[in-house]
């Protein structure tokens, strides 16, 4: 008996038994019939027992096959349940998210995206630190830092560009009524 355990082979075997047909099981699983046949045959070789009686018209379980199927079925069902639960968890994002960013970034950036983010992920508890302090993010417990910088202070961090800031010179119409237009950054007196 081979001690190797291949869950795919067991899953294919259970599917063939449930469908009572290689053809129907192949359609249900979206795999070629030959893949199922090869895997069930390999499973029988692994455990050194014949599990299925095959004929041109009928597929039936051997006595060992019936016992093996009954023992494997709850395991496959539990694995499928675990898979479904983890997919539900991924769709229902929850937990806490601790973010640090400069206040200036937060005021413009968050005003646009925060309402949509909170609507999309209502189970996220968001904690925001408005600071430009150069924290050790891991030690300070931050999950994310939003920074306006080209270089990372710690090369072990992963950085992704999320926006390109657009800088410009701005003046109110009232200021421009009594002052010349501003074309270059320079020191000037506010009105």
Considering only CA atoms, give the Rg of the chain.
Answer: 31
Tell me if 156 is assigned to some domain.
yes
Number of domains in the chain: 2
- pLDDT of amino acid 175: 85
State residue 93's pLDDT score.
78
Q: What is the pTM of this model?
A: 0.49
Looking at residue 1, its pLDDT comes to 57
Q: Is the same domain home to 50 and 109?
A: no
Instruction: Tell whether 141 is covered by a domain.
Output: yes
CATH code of residue 47: 1.10.10.10
Check the CA dihedral 33-62-18-59 and report its sign.
positive
As a whole number, the mean pLDDT across the chain is 84
**CA pair distance 26, 20, nearest whole angstrom:** 11
pLDDT at 42: 95
Helix, strand or coil for residue 130?
strand
Final residue before a domain boundary, out of 88, 118, 139: 88
Q: Are residues 104 and 153 in the same domain?
A: yes
More confident residue, 164 or 144: 144
Residue 2 predicted with pLDDT over 60: no
Highest mean pLDDT among 69-73, 142-146, 171-175, 181-185: 69-73
Q: Are residues 31 and 59 in the same domain?
A: yes
Q: Are residues 35 and 67 in the same domain?
A: yes
For residue 48, pLDDT over 90 is answered with yes
**pLDDT above 70: residue 35:** yes
* Residue entry with tokens 């390999």: 42
C-alpha distances in angstroms, 132 versus 30, 35, 51, 85, 99?
A: 53, 58, 66, 39, 12
Q: Are 152 and 159 in contact, with CB atoms under 8 Å apart?
A: yes
Write out pLDDT tens, residues 88-132: 766 677 889 998 888 877 777 777 788 888 888 888 898 988 887
Task: Check whether residue 57 and residue 113 sit in a common domain.
Answer: no
Domain membership flag for residue 58: yes
Q: Residues 111, 154: one domain?
A: yes
16 pLDDT more than 90: yes
Domain residue limits at 128: 95-166
In a shared domain, residues 50 and 103: no
Among all chains, which residue has been given the structure tokens 């600071």? Answer: 131
Q: Distance (Å, rounded) from C-alpha 90 to C-alpha 56?
A: 44
Same domain, 101 and 155: yes
Whether residue 132 is found in the same domain as residue 153: yes
Better-predicted residue by pLDDT, 177 or 110: 177
Between 1 and 101, the higher pLDDT residue: 101
**Residue 79 forms part of a structural domain:** yes
pLDDT at 159 over 90: no
CATH number, residue 99: 3.40.190.10
Domain presence at residue 180: no
Q: What is the pLDDT of residue 66?
A: 96
Name the nearest CA neighbour of 97 among 109, 114, 84, 81: 114
SS3 129: strand
Q: Which of 53-67, 78-92, 122-136, 143-157 has the highest mean pLDDT?
A: 53-67
How do strand 52-54 and strand 144-146 relate by DSSP bridges? unpaired
């Amino acid at each position: 008996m081979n001690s190797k355990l291949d869950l795919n082979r067991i899953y294919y075997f259970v599917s063939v038994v449930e469908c009572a047909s290689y053809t129907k099981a192949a359609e249900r699983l979206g795999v070629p019939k030959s893949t199922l046949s090869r895997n069930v045959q390999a499973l029988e070789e692994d455990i050194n027992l014949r599990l299925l009686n095959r004929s041109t018209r009928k597929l039936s379980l051997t006595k060992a096959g019936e016992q093996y199927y009954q023992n494997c079925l709850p395991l496959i069902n539990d694995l499928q349940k675990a898979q479904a639960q983890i997919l539900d968890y991924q769709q229902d994002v929850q937990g806490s998210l601790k973010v640090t960013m400069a206040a200036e970034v937060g005021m413009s950036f968050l005003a646009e995206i925060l309402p949509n983010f909170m609507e999309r992920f209502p189970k996220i508890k968001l904690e925001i630190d408005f600071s430009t302090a150069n924290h050790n993010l891991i030690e300070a417990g931050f999950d994310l830092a939003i920074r306006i910088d080209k270089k990372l202070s710690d090369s072990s961090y992963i950085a992704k560009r999320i926006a390109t800031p657009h800088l410009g010179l701005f003046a109110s119409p009232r200021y421009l009524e009594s002052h010349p237009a501003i074309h270059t950054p320079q020191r000037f007196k506010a009105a």
